[in-house]
Structure 1
């Protein structure tokens, strides 16, 4: 079905607007100045391309006229003006705003051509500025009568800014230009004081652009001899003052409602009431995701890792929102000086989420390794019985998956150490009490990470049959774990770390016993193989020559023993420096004189003319 508007069937007939004079309610819409800045940045003015921006404004006006039924006729031109009584939505106000922007961009394109303008072009430029000033005045009147206070004040600031620029270009009424610019400055300052998060940054940008223009107007007035003319421009009028009062009341109410709605970020005894909507949403969502991830991890849910990743992502988004709001001057907390501390607190909470994720991965990997050892023992027992299968089909499917290895846990503990260093850097920017507590906790956890690295390096050495290195790594892990247990006794909030360090001490001793037992098992198996092969080596003598893995870590053993029987070393020798002969250059070829060979070939002679041969010219 095709629906035709009345205005499209007959350009002379216009739908009668529905008036609500008995209950005139104000229209709510988004920020006007922010809409202007975004349109300018996205359509050419980032590179001072005013012609492109004018074309964009023309296209937008065509769409708005078509959508609102404001075409000016198909044959005969019929002007259809927009009055404040006909403004019922944000699109009606956008028609006035974009019309002013189109006229202003046309004038600015002429001004920035780069070569001198003729008198006709300058007259056309001033007419376009004048047109923009008229459209902006209509915009301010419509916003004052039909729209909410914030939009009315923004429209008034925009209109005063356009009027001031127009009067500066004419150069005839500097006092009027100064009054308009000061009026725009006063309105923008009131908008900044209203604590409205949506347009705070763009209002500050307009204020920065107004200061040089105000100084220029005062300089021109001083040159004209008007030094004693005191122009403040702070009188906003009764209508605008009432709007300012209403807007301030709305801003204070929004701040109180946000502070009382639970939008408070707590971390390590510090509390930050957040008044920025985007920051509050990101941090609240991140806190919920982090708590859900911890609950899933404690319950053993398989989706805990994805929830940890989501929590870290949301904390990073909240951190970017805090930095963006701080760079534009927007208010994030009730106290502006707490914004920097809030940034470090959010960064620390994100680091804690990363640390919890790594700890959960370590726990899962340790469980997989223990399950692998238990299954290996069960399979070995089952394989001894020829009448019993190695295991059910489901076990075979699980064995096809890659199990966790000791090297994986070494990498995980290394990642934990990196996150702890990041958390220590955050602690340096916190107050004294939080700094001391967090630094002590990070130190204890870093000891746990170091002990875990050494412990699973020892397990990796056993798997690669490097038993001497495994024993040394297990001894180091035991000493580091004991040192960390002593640190954890006087530190609050590290009870889980103390339990983990106690478990790690026991595992370090077990690893040392396993390394020695595996070495004896392999050594006895090697002796049996040599005896079966018929080699003339006494098993007792061979065992007498062997040393314990912990004692032969730094000793040498000959590759060829007595009886010219080769034997591979059990441990890799320690690399040492060896003396080398100096590099020599055989330069005898430089002193050899080769015989002359020029007599073996004749030089080609140049062809001479008859006159040259006659007169013997060279």
Structure 2
């Protein structure tokens, strides 16, 4: 397929054209486009800023070359032709028009995710960009324009790339593939004819075209193209400009494949999956499982981070779908006890939570292995203990998920792993205490580590964990137990040596002025003059004591005193004014 595009590509012709640059019109299309894109917004993906720059650039060029379209009061459209071509600056006009239309199309494409009507506007602007690119190629190809061979080839590669983008959006995969390959072959041949920085530009252009080519091949029928796209994504860094393009193509591929994924089976139960976001996640987990086996440590770490991000987004999307379901909310928040089999929506939530916790555990185990293998700096044991603590917490949360109450075998596997990682955590905590010379605590923790390891090894024989994982975990636990046996002897020896090398804590009599009664817990070597030893302070120091003690009679309220009413004198009461009038009216008076 490639041979049909290289008929007119002759590296010798390109080199000859450079010698005739004084007579020919030359325009380094890819160099110019790359420079202005990096300087005016596309380094950060700001297509609006780049489009505005193209408009200002067009206005300046038209004014400089005196090729304005009419006056202030009347518009007279004019186009660059071979006859009106004065110098290379005139070629900037159709090039910047194509770039402006393309930048506007890419801006509308990003906005079309939330406003679908802008997709039609985007297609119109992309067609306009193709029209301007065709016009540029027509002008350059004309013999009267007197353009060199390199300019012709670069314009042809640029025009083919623009046609490929249009057909890519129209989903005309075969036509888009042919145009992308044509552009790629021209850039490859040009890279062989030049050297230096210009060669790097051609090579980079070829690398940018490969993802689109593989995606078109996938849509035509090449299934292996998806794996190639994933491999390309692993081999580039986050700062690479191809990152966003590859992520977009991989997302489009998963969206197409996820339509066929309607259910998932976990722990002997089949769960229907209707949420598109969850379908994409499950498809991504399937594709990533094979790549994790062949990827390097840094690539694995990057893949785990991206998978965790996708799992969190899928979990949130699933929750939003059932936010008005009271039973769903009550079961996942443990507000309602589980009776019988949980609904499929709750079980799918449990499965997503399990994926999140297990992926986090695998990521942390990978970080532990990286820290242990890093010889450039010494890893602190408390850092490893902290990571094992996070792993234990993640595994403990799995056992508390709703819907797993009757999965005894699965829960037993989780408990076995918890015991194993507790053994590793105790081991590294013991190393921390050993570094602090707390040998008793370190020895006790080493014993606890061996106990956890023995319990985990016994339970591993009864569980149905994956064979490779079971073998690796058993091997690590046995190595741990053998290491602990040697470290125990080392700790005992270190404690004895540190006891012998302790500094003399005896206090000299001259440095201690306290009397003997106040320093009975300290041993002091007394010299020849024993008589000068102070036993007590004479006179003794005063101690504050209460001057008047307080006595409280608490029995008074409980005593019953005898009545003394018969011994009290009865006083005679004299009548008042009322009694006087009673005597006067009734004739009463005192008896004689």
TM-score strictly above 0.5? no
TM-score of the superposed pair, with normalisation by structure 1:
0.36
TM-score of the superposed pair, with normalisation by structure 2:
0.38
The structure with more radius of gyration: 2
